[in-house]
Amino acid sequence: MLKVIEDEKLIAKYARLFAKNFKPFIDESIKVKLGHQGASFVAKVSWSKKLGIWIFSQATKDVRYWNVFGIGKPQTGSHLPITAEINFPWVGIDRKTGAAFARDAWNRIYAIHRGKIGGGKKGIGKSLFEENYRGSWAWMEDGDLLTQVAVIGALHSSRFALQIAQFVSKVEKLKSIASLSSQTLLNFSEVSFREELVGCPPALSGDEETCACDHDLIISHLAALLRRWKFKVGNDVNYELFLMHPGSDKISHIFAVSVGGHEQSLLSATAKLLLQQSAEAGHPSAILVMPEDKVNMYLQPMQRIHIEVLGYRLEGERIIFPDLGKIRFANQASHGAL
C-alpha cells in the first residue's frame, strides 16, 4: 500500500525531480498563449517529439507545483488548450489538487493522480476518470483516509517521462469520448489498438495487487511492434492485446503481461490466458509476456499447458523483446519473417 507524502521539503525535492525527468527529451521551447480564450497568458512550453507532448511547469510559492501538458507540437503564438494537469500541493495534503507524491513499503516514490480532471465541458470530471480510466491503480494512506488512486509514474525510473506521456495521452482520449455513451465505448465497429484501454480498471478491494507502472508501456510497445509488422492488432475491455486471423473476424493470438515476474503475477496472468483461451471460439494461441530472466524457469511448464512464453527486458527507456521473431504466428507467412 502507498502512503501520501506530506513533508514540504520532500515534496519540493520530488517536484524538482519530476520536472528534471523531462529535460533529456526536450527538443525546443515554443512561445504560445496558454489557457482558454479570455483567460490565457504568454508562456514558453517545452516540446518533445519523442514523447509527443508539450510541457509547462511553474511553482507558485505556498500554493502548488503546477505541471500542464498537451498533445502534438504547438505552433508559435497559438492558443493552447491544456490536456492534463499533474499538480502537487506545496505542503501537506490537498485533495483538491489533482496529484501527489506517495511512497511504498520499500520507500520507492511515485507520482499519483486522484482523478480530478477538467476541461470545461459537460461530462468531464472525476467521475469520468474513475469510471473509464485504465492504468495502474493502488490504495493509498491519504492522511486519515484510504483512497484509491491512479499510479502514473515511478519517479526514479528511467521510463518515468514515457509513463507520464502515456497518462497524458489516455486523459486526452478520455476527454475526446466524454460525449459518447458507455455502450458506444464497449462496442467497437473496427478492430484497433486503443491506448486508453491499456491497463487495469480500479480494484474493488484494497487487497488487490497494484498494477506495475511499466505494464502499460510494455503492452503498448508490443502492440506497436506487431502493427509495424502489419499484423491486425486489437484490444478491448476483456483482452489487453490480441491478433486477428487475416481476412477473418476471429482472434488468432491473445497476450497477457506479467510485470516483474513475481509468482502471484505470473499465476494470475496464466489463469487469465487459460480462461480466455477456453472461452474464445477457435481456441487462439496464448502468449505470456514476462521478464527475460524468468523465461527458462517457466518455459517448459507453460508449454505443457499450451502457452507460449515471450520474454522482455528493460534497458533504460527501451523495452526489448529479443525472441519475438521466434513466436509462431499463424499469419506470419503472409507478412514475412519477423
Q: 89 is written with which cell numbers?
A: 500541493
Per-residue pLDDT tens digits of the chain, which is 338 residues long: 999 999 999 999 999 999 999 999 999 999 999 976 567 889 999 999 999 999 999 999 999 999 999 999 999 999 998 999 999 999 999 999 989 999 999 999 999 999 887 655 555 667 778 777 888 889 999 999 999 999 999 999 999 999 999 999 999 988 877 655 444 444 445 777 887 778 877 765 443 433 468 899 999 999 999 999 888 999 988 899 999 988 778 899 999 999 877 787 889 899 999 999 998 888 899 999 999 999 999 999 999 999 999 999 999 999 999 999 888 775 444 444 33
Q: 273 is written with which cell numbers?
A: 490466458
pTM (2 d.p.):
0.80
Buried b (16+ CB within 10 A) or exposed e, 308-333: bbbbbebeeeebebeebeebebebee
Alpha-carbon distance of 47 to 71, in angstroms, equals 10
Which DSSP category does 293 fall into?
A: G
Domains assigned to the chain? 2-190 (no CATH), 215-326 (3.40.1350)
Q: Say what angle helices 160-176 and 215-228 make with each other, to 10 degrees.
A: 80
Furthest C-alpha separation in the chain: 65
Buried b (16+ CB within 10 A) or exposed e, 171-210: bbbbbebbeeeeeeeeeeeeeebbbbbbbbebeeeeeeeb
Measured at the alpha carbon of residue 255, what is the angle toward residues 252 and 260, in degrees to the nearest 5? 165
Alpha-carbon distance of 333 to 137, in angstroms, equals 40
Which DSSP category does 74 fall into?
A: P
